[in-house]
Amino acid sequence: MTTKTESTTPPLTTLAEDERLFRDSVYEFADREIRPLVREMDEHAKIPRALIDKLFDLGVMGIEIPESFGGGGASFFHAALAVEALSRVDPSIGVLVDVQNTLVINAILRWGSDDIKRRYLPKLAANTIGAYALSEAGSGSDAFAMTTRAVESGDGYAITGRKLWITNGNEAALFIVFANVNPDAGYRGITAFLVERGFDGFTVGRKEDKLGIRASSTCELLFEGCRVPRFNVLGDIGKGYKVAIETLNEGRIGIGAQMIGLAQGALDHAIKYTKDRKQFGKPIAEFQAVQHQIARAATELEAARLMVYNAGRLRDAGQPFLTEAAMCKIFSSEVAERVTSLAVNLFGGYGFVKDYPVEKLYRDAKIGQIYEGTSNLQLQTIAKQILG
């Protein structure tokens, strides 16, 4: 069974009143609308379209989109707060919203022409899910080793290749696809294209059967001479590497937000359980060993939260945030793994079965150290910045 937890709202010292109200309203929605569906979505590895429609109605699928295009006109930081709040209940929903906002919409806002913004932003705010297609079988951390090619064809380009591990692949109707138009130029030939689901030569392939965040679809994409009009180039020809790097730097803050939300959810469950569970005649929360473990978990989680918030604030202020984004992602993902593991331990045998919620959060936490840049890649980024 999935249990409703007591409110353990994180400290508010880093949030303005409107930000706190926004985050709490998203969490209240998640507690009411998402929590009853969590186990079913995990078992069936699918998000109901009715729930996705409610996310659009809530406004969290177009947070940064200007109001003139039907969006919320809010900040990147608000997007991170939404991801945190949703992930506290189900990280699968958190990453759906994260990719939509911090990768797809963010890239279009920064790199899209006026025509692209006019055509796609209203749809992304209203009912259209986006996906971000960079990874391939032979290019994960080495993203620029991609083999997907785009060649000029008539009034546009024809894309041929295969993408893997694409989040939102099953639900998305719009894909940012990276392909190389000039392999001889190396990464300077990489270009970003906007591909609609119905374009000729494009199909969504197999959906992965995953360890965690199972409701979130992860799919392969197949391109067989997929025709993309020239006006669907995102940014400049040969500048796709810049689109990819800068967007992923921001996306890592979103993953940090997902991980702190996930960890908070696990800690919520653990706190409630230790107050209810009795051994030797008293709640196990009264044992000092349990108290100290929970105190340490709460301390690490607060440190991770502050790192995520700091990186988000820097981004919105137009300040450098590359190092802080890498730091918040690696640290929050490690904290999430530790906190969820502790929650499983505190639940004892109940923590190891699917009738209780913490084993799912434990499975969900692992991906944080893998996608949108592995932990080793984050360490390399941090080291390069620190060592000059």
152 is catalytic: no
Q: What share of the chain is helix, strand, coil (3-state, %, to 5)?
A: 60, 15, 25
Angle at 214 between CA 213 and CA 216, to 5 degrees: 75
Question: Strand pairing partners for 151?
Answer: 158
Angle at 247 between CA 74 and CA 199, to 5 degrees: 95
Tokens describing residue 244: 């990819």
Element (H, E) at 319: none
Question: Strand pairing partners for 279?
Answer: 282
- The residue annotated as part of the active site, out of 220, 337, 359, 372, is 372
For 219-255, b/e burial (b = at least 16 CB within 10 A) is bbbbbeebbbeeebbbbebbbbbbbbeebbbbbbbbb
State the Cα–Cα distance between residues 240 and 237, nearest whole angstrom. Answer: 7
- Residues with active-site annotation: 372
